[in-house]
Amino acid sequence: MKFDTSPIAAIATAPGRGGIGVVRVSGKDLSPVIEAVCGLASGKQLQPRHATYLSFLNDDGSIIDQGLAIHFKAPHSYTGEDVLELQGHGGPVVLQMLLARCLQAGAGIGLRLAEPGEFTYRAYLNDKLDLAQAEAVADLIDASTEAAAKSATQSLSGEFSKTINALVQKVINLRMLVEATLDFPEEEIDFLEKSNARGQLAAIRASLEHVFSQASQGALLREGLNVVLAGQPNVGKSSLLNALAGSDVAIVTPIAGTTRDKVTETIQLHGIPLNIIDTAGIRELDSHGDEVERIGIQRTWAEVERADVIMHMLDAARGPTRADEEIAARFPANVPVVRVWNKIDLSGHKPAAEEQADATHVYLSASERTGVDLLRNELLRIAGWQQTGESLYLARERHLIALKQARFHLDAAAEHAATSDQALDLFAEELRLAQERLNSITGEFTPDDLLGVIFSRFCIGK
Ligand code: GDP
Ligand code: ZN
């Protein structure tokens, strides 16, 4: 991003009609806009953080709308700058007029339209939010399930950042110890023994694992699980979808896969969005096939390649057939497969789940809804879901990657610590790299303010 720092304005509420709508302005000093739009005598101000009911005025004095004006004075605002919020009636035309009026009144101070995310970007620049919190703002707005919203709030409130910062602090403490020793080479010899550096490192690695598991669970809530449902016609795929969803109406947000068919449905499992791709749709399309459809089919198969799990449904009463084998032959090699044997009410099988060499087999009846929980558990197991009751962080892929890289460096540090020559400088370097990766999560690139920490907290002369 390379935004300038001129004042910005935008309609903050969703497009369309609503009871109220909000125009938000942020900048270093907004008095010209406030005076003009709110009709205040020159030099007069709105009482900060108080809602004042007044008329929003055009430059000819005519009234655009009546509503509430709130002035948040810097730094006590969302962006950390002066913020003016004008709450008027939520019609698209009236809000556009109000926005245009603000831009006109602010022309002298360089007021311009805000870019997407720019208010939050300023909040980040002004230290109102760190990077992970800023991301959580977007995630909360985008949350598609209650569980996802809850964990976004958790990240937004700074819980995730706090955990990361605590981890960083532990790494810093260990680095301080090591780097102090590096200055006195004769002390290196039994440093690792005396200082319990290995113990500290082990504790750090354990904390990282814990954060990582919470973050991956959160990422699951955010990204969901891509599930391919494959099987011959009439084996009971639609019935299974309904059974998984719990009721027929629980099938939410159908996504149009291609022009003519509906290939993906999203249902929820413990708040995890399951994006279910029905390959039946693909095979039906295979038979006709103009160019557009063929591209659609290719795309869908590409999605199958990226699936997290494949449910291959078979008729337990009929037993496996050649057509079943042909379907299975199209599955990508390294995606876990659950073989779902349906209609056990006809076959006389008992509901069961068993692990076998190539796949897990689950026996159930979709229409009788027996054994469906076994399948649910199996999907959650494959997803790596753990019911911890702990609050989760709605982590992003970026966070997971950073955590994995930090883990890589901590592992390397552990290896250096394990060797007999105790390569302390390499040990220290890996710790530094791990810290850097962790810092990237909250956006704090503070490479060598570490020195400052060392000198302020550690008495070298002793
Ligand atoms: P799809 O074509 O794979 O989506 O299969 P459907 O879900 O439409 O089901 C095909 C037929 O099988 C319907 O008549 C269902 O009522 C029936 N069916 C589905 N599941 C079961 C089951 O577990 N037991 C029995 N007896 N019939 C089932
Ligand atoms: Zn069907």
Note whether residue 22 is domain-resident.
Answer: yes
Range of the domain at 71: 8-128
Which pairs from 96-101 meet CB under 8 Å and 24+ separation? Answer: 96/11, 97/64, 97/65, 98/23, 98/37, 98/56, 98/64, 98/65, 99/9, 99/10, 99/11, 99/23, 101/37, 101/56, 101/57, 101/58, 101/59, 101/64
Q: Which atom of ligand 1 is nearest to the CA of 235?
A: 3
Asked if pLDDT for residue 411 goes beyond 90, the answer is: yes
- The residue written with tokens 């629980």 in the block is 250
Annotated binding site for (6S)-5-formyl-5,6,7,8-tetrahydrofolate, which residues?
A: 24, 85, 128, 462
- Condensed to tens digits (0 to 9), the pLDDT of residues 156-195 reads 888 889 999 999 999 999 998 888 777 766 655 566 667 7
Q: Which of 239, 262, 283 to mutate to test the pocket of ligand 1 (most atoms within 8 A of CB)?
A: 239
The arithmetic mean of pLDDT across residues 78-94, rounded, is 93
Question: How many residues comprise the chain?
Answer: 462
ipTM for the predicted complex? 0.97
Separation of alpha carbons 30 and 285, rounded Å:
59
Under 8 Å between Cβ of 430 and 413: yes
Ligand 1 contact, 235 CB (< 6 A): yes
Please indicate, yes or no, whether residues 210 and 228 belong to a single structural domain of this protein: no
**From the CA of 259, how far away is ligand 1's center (Å)?**
27
- The residue written with tokens 């994006």 in the block is 275
Please indicate, yes or no, whether residues 185 and 317 belong to a single structural domain of this protein: no
SS3 assignment, position 429: helix
- Condensed to tens digits (0 to 9), the pLDDT of residues 342-398 reads 999 999 888 888 888 778 899 999 999 999 999 988 988 888 777 666 667 777 778
Among protein residues, the one whose CA lies closest to atom 24 of ligand 1: 343
Note whether residue 269 is domain-resident.
Answer: yes
Closest CA to 125 of 264, 243, 230, 26: 26
pLDDT band at 323; cut points 50, 70, 90: confident
Q: How far is CA 209 from CA 13, 158, 378, 383, 441, in A?
A: 40, 19, 23, 17, 16
What pLDDT is recorded for position 247? Answer: 54
Please indicate, yes or no, whether residues 235 and 368 belong to a single structural domain of this protein: yes
Asked if pLDDT for residue 66 goes beyond 50, the answer is: yes
CA-atom Rg of the chain in angstroms: 29
Ligand 1 contact, 343 CB (< 6 A): yes
- The residue written with tokens 């290939």 in the block is 263
Q: Which of 367, 372, 375 to mutate to test the pocket of ligand 1 (most atoms within 8 A of CB)?
A: 367
Ligand 1 contact, 346 CB (< 6 A): yes
CATH number assigned to the domain comprising residue 37: 3.30.1360.120
Ligand 1 contact, 234 CB (< 6 A): yes
Who contacts 271 (Cβ-Cβ below 8 Å, separation ≥6)?
Answer: 145, 146, 147, 148, 221
Q: Which of these ranges, 3-17, 164-178, 335-349, 435-449, has the smallest mean pLDDT?
A: 435-449
Annotated binding site for K(+), which residues?
A: 234, 253, 255, 258
SS3 assignment, position 255: strand
Sign of the dihedral defined by the CA atoms of residues 190, 191, 196, 201, in that order: negative
Q: How many domains is the chain built from?
A: 3
Note whether residue 133 is domain-resident.
Answer: no
- The residue written with tokens 């779902």 in the block is 340
CATH number assigned to the domain comprising residue 433: 1.20.120.430
**From the CA of 276, how far away is ligand 1's center (Å)?**
18
**Phi, then psi, of 204 in degrees rounded to 5:** -65, -45
What pLDDT is recorded for position 101? Answer: 96
What pLDDT is recorded for position 390? Answer: 66
Q: Describe the strand order of the beta sheet including 225-231 as a list of residue ranges.
A: 252-255, 264-269, 272-278, 225-231, 309-315, 337-342, 360-363, 352-355
Among protein residues, the one whose CA lies closest to atom 11 of ligand 1: 234
Please indicate, yes or no, whether residues 75 and 46 belong to a single structural domain of this protein: yes
130 vs 407: which has the higher pLDDT? 407
> Residues whose CB is under 5 A from ligand 2 (ion)?
237-238
What pLDDT is recorded for position 187? Answer: 59
Note whether residue 354 is domain-resident.
Answer: yes
Please indicate, yes or no, whether residues 228 and 212 belong to a single structural domain of this protein: no
**From the CA of 366, how far away is ligand 1's center (Å)?**
7
Please indicate, yes or no, whether residues 373 and 262 belong to a single structural domain of this protein: yes
Please indicate, yes or no, whether residues 45 and 97 belong to a single structural domain of this protein: yes
Separation of alpha carbons 412 and 414, rounded Å:
5
- Condensed to tens digits (0 to 9), the pLDDT of residues 445-455 reads 544 443 333 22
Ligand 1 contact, 367 CB (< 6 A): yes
Asked if pLDDT for residue 260 goes beyond 70, the answer is: no
CA atoms within 13 A on the CB side of 382: 23
CB neighbourhood size of 8 (10 A): 25
Please indicate, yes or no, whether residues 269 and 416 belong to a single structural domain of this protein: no
Phi-psi region of 178 (alpha: psi -120 to 50; beta: other; left: phi over 0): alpha
Under 8 Å between Cβ of 112 and 9: yes
Please indicate, yes or no, whether residues 353 and 324 belong to a single structural domain of this protein: yes
Ligand closest in space to the Cα of 345? 1
